[in-house]
């Protein structure tokens, strides 16, 4: 599944999407669960793993740390066997290619007393500093520094601490909790992130023997244990992918049933789509979205969970671009997430940016043009926009999309979308 940078999507607009789509495990969870396997000697098994590009990158990181890893793609199963003495240095090319690689930091410090992790790369959506990761580990007794492009953390014995995050950072919450599970004493983490993916991580940690209270709440208490054991766990469904299909139904005036997700994780999203005129039916394992007429304009503002997710801000702009009326989209999490709006304007969107606000005046229909994906979610939003544009739209740099959406082309084709993956000899000049 190595990405082919020169692949592009060719999307012909005008089709109303209809049918059923199943959602697999969450990108924002599976990588953290894989890293958690470092906390215990033996074999950990993860089911419902998504077929996305970041998974083999994390497999490469874990193998470099001494783990044996097998990936049964068709079965959605990853098996990780962690040695008694894993390496503490994750200084690999794979680490630099995706942001989630930093999630090995907490488990490595906790298990080996030392971690050397190359500063990660990933999406171009703005600054995501590691200062809260570092200050949290330092409160637990580690010494941290940035050296030769790597984050270095070292500790003799970690100890419990009272930590309050300045912002409910998902990554910092996860690294602090995974470091605290084997620390001596009790750690209290205030203003912790509450996302379902954080809950999923805490759940597998509890299955591995960790003692954690307040899971899913803003204050989490971790009582350190001496050792942990492997677990068998099913990855939580991907709420961002599920919501992307919900927006696809609304934008194309379609009818899509989404399965494999707890609809309660998307309360705010589904309420916004309902305000846009969609008919929402909740089910035990999913939901159905039916949009019969042109969407109404709706305002959005991104906030930490349970607010509207920043990962869905590009889809909100896509919906606003074809809605009836004017919409205001406010970005409160990542300052550079509006970069992709220029690509939406190429497609005929009437939008302009003012600081961390985007003002969008809806048009009846977008128009085709060559566009470029800058990150996972921006790429997905451009696909949705192309589905409601006149003519055929070429979307380039789709390796970004492959990092977060398994089999997007095939799933859209099953829903009636006119889309194909094409390989080109040379990337066109932008």
Segment 169-175 shows an average pLDDT of: 95
Would residue 258 count as lying in a domain? yes
Residue 15 DSSP symbol: P
- Residues 225 and 295 reside in one and the same domain: no
- Residues 200 and 71 reside in one and the same domain: yes
Catalytic residue among 7, 54, 74, 123: 123
Is 267 annotated to bind a ligand? Reply is no
Would you mind telling me the total number of residues written for the chain in this entry?
430
- Residues 260 and 337 reside in one and the same domain: yes
Domain containing 137 equals 27-234
Would residue 228 count as lying in a domain? yes
Q: Cis ω on the peptide bond leading into residue 239 (within 30° of 0)?
A: no
Is 114 annotated to bind a ligand? Reply is no
Is 311 annotated to bind a ligand? Reply is yes
177-234 pLDDT, tens digit per residue, is 999 999 999 999 999 999 999 999 999 999 999 999 999 999 999 999 999 999 999 9
Q: How far is CA 279 from the centre of its chain?
A: 26
Q: What angle do CA 211, 304, 185 make, to 5 degrees?
A: 20
Q: What is the CATH number of the domain that holds 82?
A: 3.65.10.10
Q: Does an H or E element contain 399, and which?
A: helix 399-402
> What's the pLDDT at 148?
84
**198 three-class SS:** helix
Would residue 430 count as lying in a domain? no
For the chain, the first-to-last Cα distance in angstroms comes to 26
How many domains does the chain contain in total?
2
Q: Cα-Cα-Cα-Cα dihedral of 188, 194, 200, 204, to 10°? A: 0
- Residues 263 and 188 reside in one and the same domain: no
Q: Is the pLDDT of residue 3 over 50?
A: no
Is 359 annotated to bind a ligand? Reply is no
Last residue within a domain, chosen from 217, 234, 251: 234
- Residues 273 and 343 reside in one and the same domain: yes
- In the residue annotation, 123 being an active-site residue is answered as yes
Banded model confidence at residue 126, pLDDT cuts 50, 70, 90? very low
Name the nearest CA neighbour of 45 among 56, 34, 57: 34
């Amino acid at each position: 599944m190595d990405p082919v940078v020169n692949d592009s999507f060719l999307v012909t607009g005008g089709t109303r999407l209809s049918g059923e789509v199943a959602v697999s495990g969450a990108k924002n969870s599976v990588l953290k669960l894989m890293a958690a396997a470092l906390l215990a000697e033996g074999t950990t098994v993860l089911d419902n793993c998504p077929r996305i590009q970041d998974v083999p990158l994390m497999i490469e990181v874990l193998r470099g740390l001494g783990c044996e890893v097998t990936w049964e793609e068709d079965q959605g199963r990853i098996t990780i066997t962690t040695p008694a003495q894993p390496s503490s240095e994750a200084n690999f090319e794979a680490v630099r290619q995706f942001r989630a690689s930093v999630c090995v930091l907490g488990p490595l410090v906790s298990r080996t007393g030392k971690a050397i992790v190359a500063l990660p790369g990933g999406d171009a959506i703005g600054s995501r500093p590691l200062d809260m990761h570092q200050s949290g580990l330092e409160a637990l007794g580690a010494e941290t520094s940035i050296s030769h492009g790597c984050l270095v953390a070292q500790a003799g014995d970690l100890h419990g601490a009272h930590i309050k995050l300045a912002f409910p950072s998902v990554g910092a919450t996860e690294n602090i909790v995974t470091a605290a599970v084997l620390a001596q004493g009790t750690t209290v983490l205030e203003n912790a992130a509450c996302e379902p993916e954080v809950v999923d991580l805490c759940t597998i940690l509890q299955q591995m023997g960790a003692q954690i209270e307040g899971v899913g709440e803003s204050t989490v208490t971790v009582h350190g244990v001496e050792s942990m054991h492997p677990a068998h766990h099913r990855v939580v469904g991907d709420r961002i992918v599920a919501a992307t299909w919900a927006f696809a139904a609304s934008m194309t005036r379609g009818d899509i049933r989404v399965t494999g997700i707890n609809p309660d994780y998307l309360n705010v999203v589904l309420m916004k789509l309902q305000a846009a005129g969609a008919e929402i039916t909740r089910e035990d394992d999913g939901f159905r979205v039916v949009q019969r007429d042109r969407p109404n304009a709706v305002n959005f503002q991104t906030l930490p969970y349970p607010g509207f997710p920043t990962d869905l801000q590009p889809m909100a702009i896509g919906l606003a671009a074809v809605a009836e009326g004017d919409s205001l989209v406010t970005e409160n999490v990542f300052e550079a997430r509006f970069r992709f709006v220029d690509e939406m304007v190429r497609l005929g969107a009437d939008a302009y940016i003012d600081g961390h606000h985007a003002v969008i005046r809806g048009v009846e229909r977008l128009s085709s043009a060559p566009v470029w994906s800058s990150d996972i979610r921006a790429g997905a939003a451009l696909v949705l926009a192309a589905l409601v544009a006149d003519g055929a739209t070429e979307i380039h740099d789709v390796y970004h999309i492959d990092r977060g959406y398994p089999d997007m082309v095939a799933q859209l084709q099953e829903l009636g979308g006119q889309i194909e993956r094409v390989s080109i000899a040379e990337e066109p000049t932008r």
